[in-house]
Amino acid sequence: MRYSLIIAGGLSLLSSITQAYSISNLYDASTNGSGWAGETANSHIIATPGATPGTNEWFSRYTLGNGDAAFNIDADILGLFKNAPLQNTSGASLSAASESVRVTFLGTGAARNSVLFLAQQGNELLDSAAFWNPVYASGGTNNLTSYNPVSDSNRLFETRGGCEYAQAKAGNSCVPDNLGQSRVISGLAAGDSLVFGLQALVLHYNSDNIHYPNTNYFFSGDAANNRDSRGWNDGQVHTKILNLGSNRYLVGFEDIWGGGDRDFNDNIFLFEGVVADIPIPPLVPVSEPSSLPLLGMLLAGLLWLRRRHPQ
C-alpha cells in the first residue's frame, strides 16, 4: 500500500528508586490488532529504499500480516521516514494523551542489537547530566557490567534478540523475539512528556567488516536530547515520527553516531495514546479506490470556487 504524507529526573516521587510510572510485562503479538496469532509477529525482509544494488539489508525484519494496515511495515512506509515533514532540524517530541501509553515493536533494519527504554518522564528535554554523569563515572559506554542505565524498570524491547546479525546471515530465517510484542506504560498523567532512549550495542563481524566498538545512546525528540557536556553524543536528531491518527504514531530511530544514512528506519515502534508537540500531517492511504471519490469531490470544489471567483 502506498502512503502520502498526512520521555531521569521526573521518574522519582519519593526517592531515586520509586518511579512515577510502571511498565507491563510483554504482551504477545496476538494481542495487537487483528491478524497476528502467535507470540511474535509474522515478518518479511525489506531492502533499504533507494539502496545501491548488492547492498540490500537482507537482515532486516519488519512486521506484516496484520488486519490493521498501520501494524504492517512496507517499503513505502520506510521511505517516508527519511523525509518526514517538519523534523529535519528539531525532532518531534511525544507526550502522553492519558494515563497509559502502549508501545509495540514493529521491526528493525539495523545490523546491531539495541534496547528501547523509557529514559525520562515529565520533561520535554532529557536531563543530560543526570543520565550521562553515572556513565562517565562508570568508565564508559562499554562498561555495562558495572553500570547500565537500562534495567527491568525501564526496558521495553530488545530489537535483535533471538536474531543477531550472525544468526540471520547463517540461516536468514530467524525472527527477533520481541517482534510485534508490546508493553503498556501506566501511571502517567496526560501531558507528561516522554523521552525514549535507544541503547545501541557493540557489534563486530569481521567477515563483513562491520565494527561498532561502542555502546551508543540515542534519544527521541529534540536534537538537544542528544547533546552532553563531553560530546559522547552527536547533538543530532535521531528519531522521526509519522502520524497514523487517533493518537497513534510510528517512531523510527537512526542508530548510528553522527547520523548514519539518515533513513530513520533502523528500528520502528508504534506508540498508541500519545500526542506530538508539533503538527504532523496524518498519513492517509491514497491508492485505495475508496479514496478516489473524495479526491474528485475536492477537485470539483476547487474548480467551482475558481469559477465563482476568477482571478
pLDDT recorded at residue 288? 41
pLDDT recorded at residue 17? 37
The three cell numbers of residue 15 are: 526517592
Which is more confidently placed, 256 or 295? 256
Domain limits for position 83:
3-308
In this prediction, residues 101-117 reach a mean pLDDT of: 97
Q: Is 50 exposed, middle or buried (0-12, 13-18, 19+ CB in 10 A)?
A: exposed
pLDDT recorded at residue 53? 52
pLDDT recorded at residue 297? 39
Average pLDDT over the chain reads: 84
Total structural domains within the chain: 1
Q: What is the pLDDT of residues 16-57, one digit of tens each?
A: 334 689 999 999 999 998 999 999 999 999 876 665 554 567
In this prediction, residues 138-165 reach a mean pLDDT of: 92
Q: What is the pLDDT of residues 160-186, one digit of tens each?
A: 999 999 999 887 789 999 999 999 999
Which is more confidently placed, 290 or 106? 106
Query: φ, ψ for residue 113 (rounded to 5)?
Result: -75, 145
Give the separation between CA 243 and CA 264, rounded to whole angstroms.
15
Confidence category of residue 91, pLDDT binned at 50, 70, 90: confident
Collapsing DSSP to helix, strand or coil, 31 comes out as helix
Give Cβ neighbours of residue 126 (< 8 Å, ≥ 6 apart): 119, 120, 195, 219, 221, 224, 225
Q: What is the pLDDT of residues 199-252, one digit of tens each?
A: 999 999 998 899 999 899 999 999 999 999 888 899 999 999 999 999 999 999
pLDDT recorded at residue 305? 41
